Structure 1
Amino acid sequence: MSVPNESDFALIKVGNGASPEVFAAICGIENVSINRVANTTDRNRRDCAKPGAPGVRRSKTTSKQMDITGTGGVDKADIDAFDDALGVVKNYKVELYKYDGTDTGALMGTFAGAFNLTSANMSLDANGDSSGEITLASDGAWTWTAAA
């Protein structure tokens, strides 16, 4: 039997803009969703030999995008950083890991690119767990690099 070699968790890291750029993990953001989308425009085309019959949809890809959502807790130290980064394009990395019995896990690969922090939300529940959520929108091309 064959099973997929899948990641168990991910870290979102933000670059500091220096040269060389240093990336730091966003503490508390523990759950990550990565959504890659091909944006399309639909067109209808009729069969020239049967102009009275309904046309068929033709789909034209107009762009690609990646949206990343991270949820978990909000570290107090990150509140100012989120305010400063909101609406600003920065370099980010999303590293995918597999549990391997170590404290760090085994790196499986990294998505990297320029992203705009489009939301930084906090939910503060006096009778339960508080949480936070950030959303990143790609700003240009991204890369995927599998770990060696």
Structure 2
Amino acid sequence: MADGQQLGRLLLIKIGDGADPEVFTNLCGLKTRSFNMSANEVDTTIPSCTNPGGPVQKTSRPGIANRTFTGSGNFVSSSASDVFMNHVRASEAFNAQVVVPGDGTYQGSWMVTDFSFSGDVEPNMEFSATFVAADVLTFTPEA
């Protein structure tokens, strides 16, 4: 692999077990995944007070930050997936880490806003999930 390139399969979400110290386990089965970092745009545009008929320059500032992880793949039954599914069924926040290769780890409280099981006659049962930050996350840069 060329220098600096990262493997997409190393973009991970790890679910915490709630113990002290907390142990994080990869959510197994993911085949596709993405991590989105965005912020709302707050319009700060003010027309000129001295030349109100002149050109107006649009200006903005960052608003609410949003961190979202989505993934889908084969559902793998395990003790770690049992812990994860208990959080999904209870609609509760839980500790997790999103590991972004070449960037770092985003850790804190997450919640699942959308979860689906799917399957056809022959292939394995699949799932998809959307995770959003439920509190302020801490970021640890990759070493």
Q: TM-score over 0.5 for the alignment?
A: yes
The superposition leaves residues 30-59 of structure 1 with CA deviations (integer Å, 9 ceiling, x where unpaired) of 322000011122243101222123533221
- 8 Å Cα contact 1:70/1:134 also seen in 2: yes
Aligned to 1:105: none
Aligned to 1:138: 133
The alignment's C-alpha RMSD in Å is 2.6
- In the alignment, residue 6 of structure 2 is paired with which amino acid? S
Alignment length, in residue pairs? 137
The superposition leaves residues 89-142 of structure 1 with CA deviations (integer Å, 9 ceiling, x where unpaired) of 1111123459xxxxxxxxx74222211111111221236564321111012222
Unpaired runs of at least 5, structure 1: 99-107
Please give the TM-score of this superposition, normalised by the length of structure 2.
0.77
Aligned to 1:47: 48
Residue 95 of structure 1 pairs with residue 99 of structure 2: yes
Aligned to 1:85: 87
Tell me the SS of whatever aligns to 1:84: helix
- In the alignment, residue 113 of structure 2 is paired with which amino acid? T
Question: Separation in 2 of the partners of 1:97 and 1:146?
Answer: 10
Aligned to 2:72: 71
Unpaired runs of at least 5, structure 2: none
- CA 1:93/1:49 → structure 2, altered by over 3 Å: closer, same or farther? same
Residue 117 of structure 1 pairs with residue 112 of structure 2: yes
| Deviation beyond 6 Å, 4+ runs, structure 1 | none
Please give the TM-score of this superposition, normalised by the length of structure 1.
0.75
- In the alignment, residue 139 of structure 2 is paired with which amino acid? W
- CA 1:20/1:136 → structure 2, altered by over 3 Å: closer, same or farther? same
- 8 Å Cα contact 1:11/1:30 also seen in 2: no
- 8 Å Cα contact 2:16/2:23 also seen in 1: yes
- 8 Å Cα contact 1:82/1:120 also seen in 2: no
